[in-house]
Structure 1
């Protein structure tokens, strides 16, 4: 079947999508979006249950202690052209980290979880360093700040200033919503890679390389470009009508899995509205609302998780080409959960292909060809 649509490739207890309802380890995304922090989600995905107070404190401490990057990573980032692709930089940096981990080929449960913490902590620091170094700014030293969450840490490392509580909370909720989504393309790539008993870093590199493709990642960047291209509320109707007349895709709408709308979209819409009020700038939010209304009326399509995340990240003043990297920071928690699960009961993933080529072709000597 094309794209392996509806093909069950493995069993997993991490995430389910049934009847358009998304659940992490049995917990509804509605319950988690309204109550959980990203660190609680990380623990839930990796260990199968929510942490108690002491376990959560320990995880936060481990993440903070392991977020310090090897100095060679900064040297590597200085080698890149400032305009180079940010996802490619992230992919190479994650691969480079392999050389600084003496447990890289230790596949024991304990070592796998220690490596998971190191990767989860450092990916956020790498993304912040990518942006600062390409702007000619020095990376922020972690010892100079005391963040209370991974989301706050990222914004602090990115800007050099302690973020407003509303900004840190908004990004934390985004991380919760993007953390896991069953056997999507990047998750499948990670599981295939580590099923060969390759190392965890290789699995994450495979996932990042897969997410880099515009058919999987990048949609929220394209939504932001659309919002900028439209610019004003008065242009929305004409723009959408032209897109529909030309048979062009309107980014941020529809979903291959959700037939009745993406359950995550309403929380991002609410965040966009809250941040619009905080910034005293309702333009991006109101543009998004009007686009949503017209597309639903004319195409019957509802927004997916990418649509309102574009305006949320814009209000958070995150550079547009880092939008997909925000997704990667969050989804690393889910990728790692699947890698850990794959290693628990591993069998190499080796599907078959249905042959569609010629049969019984006879050899011809070179003089006859």
Structure 2
């Protein structure tokens, strides 16, 4: 019998990524995530997920040109964004915008391999522009279009903050996107594949994924980490005392543990190094210093309890994103930007060997009840 939440159930095969939670290993198409994060770019990882191998220089240059050609927002889509309330949840705005994109695509319902690849590239290119444009509009600023010759990471920070990032900030953003690009059969990926299993269109599939990622149990963990950091900082309380009190009160310390990892989340190791560099350069190490104190306190508390629990990728991404000037309520939307190539890579697999995903359920309700006439109820 399946565990609650389908735990332990294998729902399909994939060549895209694998997680060994016992040793803290994550691979994309055969490549270790640490190797990819240190030695490739987000664009290279997108190509890898869609093609099974990293590009050579000529392939990468052509791929970047294709991404750049698809990154600008049309006047029609800008008009859609202008109609959205300025106080809307950015994930709700993104979900609505991606759904709207499908209405402007005359080939939206075509799911040939070539068409799915075209839409995968388009959505990966345009999603950062959508997120940045909505943020500027809700703050009373005009959206900025991406600059030619810049990476996805560089353009996103430029379109969001109105100034070109330096090399450290650009590289930090790029690595964060690489680390979040793919993560096996997580909830939003499964939602996308379930939608694709009905032979629905790519835009509907990604809308399903965004709606699933929007939930705080999936995509919003780094927001809760930042809330925790701010709570401790504003209270002036000793981090170790706060952690002890939280655990004694049965409160979860955000950013620790993961559904699939029983060892250190390999993505957290890379982000910790990036956090050190970017915050030192910014001259503001408050959030990192606080994070390190919380991590040390958690290690002590777990040792006393005879347990082991490690930081996950959300623990450091929260302070990294804050240092990059990304508003806290955009954290999950940044997650969606990064995960779009992973979602669409799964769609390529699903459509290529499709079967309707239709699990069974175990009925635990009553039996043998009889209808009583309405006037006698």
The TM-score bracket by the shorter chain reads: over 0.9
TM-score (norm 1): 0.97
- 1:318 pairs, out of 295, 304, 326, with 326
Please give the alpha-carbon distance, in whole angstroms, between the structure 2 residues aligned to 1:208 and 1:16.
22
TM-score (norm 2): 0.95
Residues 1:124 and 2:132 aligned together = no
Residues 1:173 and 2:175 aligned together = yes
SS at match of 1:16: strand
Measured on the aligned residues, the alpha-carbon RMSD in Å equals 1.3
TM alignment of 1:96-245, pairs within 5 A: 96-142=100-146, 145-231=147-233, 235-245=238-248
Note closer, same or farther for the CA distance 1:137–1:147 as it changes in structure 2 (3 Å cut).
farther
SS at match of 1:198: coil
8 A Cα contact 1:147 1:153, kept in partner: no
Instruction: Identify unmatched segments of 5+ residues in structure 2.
Output: 303-307
Residue-by-residue CA offset, 1:167-188 (whole Å, 9 max, x unaligned): 1100000001000000000000
Residues 1:253 and 2:260 aligned together = no
Instruction: Identify unmatched segments of 5+ residues in structure 1.
Output: none
Please give the alpha-carbon distance, in whole angstroms, between the structure 2 residues aligned to 1:301 and 1:78.
44
8 A Cα contact 2:67 2:122, kept in partner: yes
TM alignment of 1:1-369, pairs within 5 A: 1-18=3-20, 19=22, 20-142=24-146, 145-231=147-233, 235-299=238-302, 300-369=308-377
Aligned pair count reads 367
Please give the alpha-carbon distance, in whole angstroms, between the structure 1 residues aligned to 2:145 and 2:351.
34
Residue-by-residue CA offset, 1:39-73 (whole Å, 9 max, x unaligned): 11101111111111111111111111101112122
Where does structure 1 differ by over 4 angstroms across 4 or more consecutive aligned residues? Answer: none
Please give the alpha-carbon distance, in whole angstroms, between the structure 2 residues aligned to 1:138 and 1:163.
19
8 A Cα contact 1:103 1:115, kept in partner: no
**Deviation for aligned residue 1:236:** 1.0
SS at match of 1:311: helix
Note closer, same or farther for the CA distance 1:204–1:65 as it changes in structure 2 (3 Å cut).
same
8 A Cα contact 1:44 1:50, kept in partner: yes
